[in-house]
Amino acid sequence: MTTEQSDPLHVGVTGAAGYMGSRVITLLQEVHPEWKLTAIDNFYLGDVREVGETDIVHVDVRNRSALEDALAGSDIVLHLAAVSGVDDCETNADLAYEVNVTGTTNVAWFCRKTGAALIFPLSMAMLGDPESFPISVDDSRDPVNWYGRTKLIGERLVEEFAADAFPAHLFLKSNLYGEHTIDDRRVSKGMVINLFVDKVFNNEPLTVYKPGTQSRNYIHIDDASRAYIRSAERLQEQLSLNETGVERYEIASSEDPGVMTVAEIVRQSAQEETGIDVDITLVENPRSGETLVDQFGVDISKACEQLNWEPQHTVESSIRQLLHERDTK
């Protein structure tokens, strides 16, 4: 598929009612108001029904015919629909397979039939326990949980479907944090930093799983959303050149604190920004398939160079801003 210069780009977004999907749509409307947006979701977790002037249509990515009807005419598909997170995928293993594997197959098949470009986020859970740093999207895959395995299968599917058919950008994404609002409604997700901030205002201790030194790389939702927008802009160019096949990028930051360090940042920031004192509790780790490395540096040079993107938010300043905003509402 090629897009004529005079035609507005048409972007389809799956998982549009969710934490990431609704934020991306908001920023797309701000940065590219001329683009046409189609937004779909099955409302499994996300329950946003409209973002600005974009209505979110009830479509399940597991239903291939309904999916193809909804996405008809799309030049680019931003495939964000997923059962995400280690715990949710373990508890709902069948659903995780149906959405993360079957749903991704349906989206990739639509792109192969129509030539639409694809943006697809991967997960650090695909890597298992990294053996060297900084991490690269080209590192070997060795997932230690079902979530990571479903994302790995999705990656392989997209790579095969994209060959000689459509351009695709695959993003190895670190741990998201941050919140946003839609019509004065707070949109968040139970990621570790967001959970800790919630606990502050619920007067609950910050629970850290042992050993507490396990490191994660963190990326603000706005920084990740901007990367997807830059990706769509590059894909628009690639479509005009009839390029096909996958490109892989990393979305991450330079910050990889241990979980205990994050808890301490939240505790100190909460005291200084809100006057609330919270305790930190170190407890036994109930997760058998968790990466426990004590560093998590990620090489983001490719995204910086080819997408003209770089992270703008830092963990501590974002935590302080979030605490301040929540405290004053």
Identify whether residues 138 and 272 lie together within a single domain: no
Residue 161 inside a domain? The answer is: yes
Q: What residues are paired with 77 via a beta bridge?
A: 12, 118
- DSSP annotation of 140 reads P
C-alpha to C-alpha distance for 58 and 49, rounded to whole angstroms: 9
Identify whether residues 83 and 193 lie together within a single domain: no
Identify whether residues 196 and 135 lie together within a single domain: no
Task: Quickly count: other Cβ atoms within 10 Å of residue 209's Cβ.
Answer: 17
Residue by residue, pLDDT tens for the chain (329 residues) are 544 446 899 999 999 999 999 999 999 999 999 999 999 999 988 889 999 999 999 999 999 999 999 999 999 999 999 999 888 999 999 999 999 999 999 999 999 999 999 999 999 999 988 889 999 999 999 998 999 999 999 999 999 999 999 999 999 999 999 999 998 889 999 999 999 999 999 999 999 999 999 999 999 999 999 999 999 999 999 999 999 999 999 999 999 999 999 999 999 999 999 999 999 999 998 877 678 889 999 999 999 999 999 999 999 999 999 999 999 87
pLDDT for the residue 232: 98
Identify whether residues 77 and 210 lie together within a single domain: no
Non-local (6+) Cβ contacts of 30 within 8 A are none
Identify whether residues 57 and 132 lie together within a single domain: yes
Residue 1 inside a domain? The answer is: no
Buried b (16+ CB within 10 A) or exposed e, 229-266: bbbbebbbebbeeeebebbbbbbbbebbbbbbbbbbbb
Residue 141 CA from chain centroid, whole number: 19
Identify whether residues 233 and 199 lie together within a single domain: no
Closest CA to 197 of 319, 279, 18: 319
Query: Omega of the bond prior to 130 within 30 degrees of 0, cis?
Result: no
State the helix-helix crossing angle for 259-274 and 315-327, rounded to 10 degrees.
40
Residue 80 inside a domain? The answer is: yes
Residue 181 amino acid letter: T
Identify whether residues 96 and 207 lie together within a single domain: no
Identify whether residues 167 and 242 lie together within a single domain: yes
Residue 95 inside a domain? The answer is: yes
Residue 5 inside a domain? The answer is: no
For Cα atoms 235, 56, 41, give the angle at the middle one, nearest 5 degrees.
Answer: 80
pLDDT for the residue 3: 47
**205: CATH:** 3.90.25.10
SS3 190: coil
Q: Which two tokens stand for residue 191?
A: 């990621």
State the helix-helix crossing angle for 104-114 and 64-71, rounded to 10 degrees.
50
Largest separation between any pair of C-alpha atoms in the chain = 59
Residue 57 inside a domain? The answer is: yes
Q: Which two tokens stand for residue 223?
A: 């920084």
The whole domain housing 131 covers 10-177+219-251
74 backbone dihedrals φ, ψ, rounded to 5°: -70, 135
Reported residue count of the chain is 329
Identify whether residues 226 and 164 lie together within a single domain: yes
Q: Total domain count for the chain?
A: 2
Identify whether residues 60 and 129 lie together within a single domain: yes
Closest CA to 182 of 98, 318, 56, 12: 56
For Cα atoms 18, 145, 247, give the angle at the middle one, nearest 5 degrees.
Answer: 65
Residue 168 inside a domain? The answer is: yes
Residue 2 inside a domain? The answer is: no
pLDDT for the residue 289: 67
Identify whether residues 224 and 263 lie together within a single domain: no
pLDDT for the residue 328: 87
C-alpha to C-alpha distance for 1 and 36, rounded to whole angstroms: 16
**169: CATH:** 3.40.50.720
C-alpha to C-alpha distance for 7 and 264, rounded to whole angstroms: 51
Closest CA to 234 of 220, 219, 249, 222: 249
Identify the sign of the CA torsion 108, 234, 48, 7. negative
Identify whether residues 144 and 93 lie together within a single domain: yes
